[in-house]
Amino acid sequence: MATKKEEKKIVLTRPQFINMRIKIEGITPYLPGKLAQSQIDSIEASRRGEGLKIKRAISPTEEREAKVHLIDPSKGFIDGNFGIPSAAFYSATKQAANKAYWPGGIDSKRWGIAVQIQDGLLPLEYEKRVDRVDTVIQLRVPKLDLE
């Protein structure tokens, strides 16, 4: 005579989410790419159909200061007041974790489910801050004298 097997009840518990602080050390410099307010104003003016306005010259210092994200704008450009937008950080980590780039990676959909980052600016901590300086080298093209 066959005995009825005992039915086992499977209970799935909801995962417990926690907030973590993770230290990530980079090997390349972080170059912020925030649009300067003058560029935003120019885009808005073109959307409104306004004509082009004469632009004023911007110093390299003003350009550098316009591209960084300040956690507290009232404090100004002091150490410890620089941040990176959480959306930009999330996109960078999602791309870095992608299995297409390295064999131990995970698929981007799973990354999107597993990792959630609080909205806002994430503080940047660094040993030293170096301003990027672009050097323009003008190459001379020899003129051919055909006469």
Are residues 94 and 73 located together in one domain of the fold?
A: yes
Higher local confidence (pLDDT), 81 or 31: 81
Are residues 40 and 77 located together in one domain of the fold?
A: no
Among 37, 107, 104, 101, smallest CA distance to 73 is for 37
Residue 47 has pLDDT above 70, yes or no: yes
Are residues 108 and 77 located together in one domain of the fold?
A: yes
Higher local confidence (pLDDT), 32 or 137: 32
Higher local confidence (pLDDT), 68 or 99: 68
User: Is residue 17 situated within a structural domain?
Assistant: no
Calculate mean pLDDT across residues 103-116: 78
State the residue range of the domain holding 97. 68-129
Residue 141 has pLDDT above 80, yes or no: no
Distance CA(111)–CA(39), nearest Å, equals 33
* Strand pairing category for 69-70 and 121-123: unpaired
User: Is residue 112 situated within a structural domain?
Assistant: yes
pLDDT band at 35; cut points 50, 70, 90: confident
Please tell me the predicted confidence (pLDDT) of residue 40: 78
Cβ–Cβ under 8 Å, residues 95 and 107: no
Please tell me the predicted confidence (pLDDT) of residue 134: 63
Are residues 59 and 90 located together in one domain of the fold?
A: no
Are residues 93 and 108 located together in one domain of the fold?
A: yes
Domain count across the chain = 2
Residue-averaged pLDDT of the chain:
76
Which of helix, strand or coil describes residue 73?
helix
Are residues 95 and 106 located together in one domain of the fold?
A: yes
User: Is residue 125 situated within a structural domain?
Assistant: yes
Distance CA(38)–CA(56), nearest Å, equals 10
User: Is residue 16 situated within a structural domain?
Assistant: no
Please tell me the predicted confidence (pLDDT) of residue 135: 64
Q: What distances in angstroms separate CA 9 from CA 6, 12, 15, one per listed residue?
A: 10, 10, 19
**DSSP line for 88-116:** HHHHHHHHHTBTTTSTT-B-HHHHHHH--
Please tell me the predicted confidence (pLDDT) of residue 79: 81
Are residues 103 and 62 located together in one domain of the fold?
A: no
Are residues 96 and 82 located together in one domain of the fold?
A: yes
